């Protein structure tokens, strides 16, 4: 099952059809912070937890635990960044992506004007 907010999962059916797996999938829109479909044995959260602060992350994990079968499991797939290691290009790209996502959640439309002092001073003089 693929789950996300209704506008997020709206594009999933054509992709699943094209991949030839639509008959094995169920797509549901919803808010995982309020409820998760009940009764499954395994819940996979892939690249989700890193998006949220501790309070919201705990809410996602709690909803999954409440919904699962008694001996169910939650599987987390996240990227680990080791302390002291030199970041790879993939990690740096991920950091930029997270900055853009966080910025859009805050409703900021011009990222450069909020992050770059040079751009801010140029924008002010325009």
Over the chain (126 residues), the average pLDDT of each successive run of 10 is 68 91 86 88 85 87 92 87 68 70 55 44 45
Q: How far is Cα of residue 57 from the mean position of the Cα atoms in its chain?
A: 11
Joined together, the tokens standing for residue 44 give 């996979």
Q: What is the pLDDT of residue 114?
A: 44
50 is annotated as an active-site residue: yes
Joined together, the tokens standing for residue 79 give 């990227």
Taking the whole predicted model, whether its pTM rises above 0.85 is answered as no
Among the listed residues 50, 65, 73, 114, the single catalytic one is 50
Joined together, the tokens standing for residue 73 give 């499991």
Q: What is the pLDDT of residue 126?
A: 46
Neighbouring residues of 28: CB distance < 8 A, sequence distance ≥ 6? 1, 2, 3, 9, 37
Q: Which residue(s) pair with 27 in the sheet? A: 2
Q: Contacts by 95-100 with C-beta closer than 8 Å and gap 24+?
A: 98/50, 98/51
Distance CA 41, CA 52 (A): 24
């Amino acid at each position: 099952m693929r789950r996300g907010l209704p506008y997020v999962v709206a594009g999933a059916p054509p992709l699943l059809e094209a991949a030839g797996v639509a008959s094995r999938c169920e797509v549901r829109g919803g808010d995982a912070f309020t409820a998760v479909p009940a009764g499954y044995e395994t819940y996979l959260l892939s690249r989700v937890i890193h998006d949220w602060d501790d309070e919201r992350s705990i809410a996602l994990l709690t909803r999954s635990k409440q919904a699962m079968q008694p001996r169910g499991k939650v599987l987390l797939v996240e990227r680990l960044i080791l302390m002291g290691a030199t970041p790879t290009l993939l990690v740096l790209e991920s950091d930029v992506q997270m900055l853009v996502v966080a910025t859009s959640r805050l409703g900021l439309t011009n990222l450069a004007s909020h992050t770059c002092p040079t751009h801010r001073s140029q924008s002010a003089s325009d």
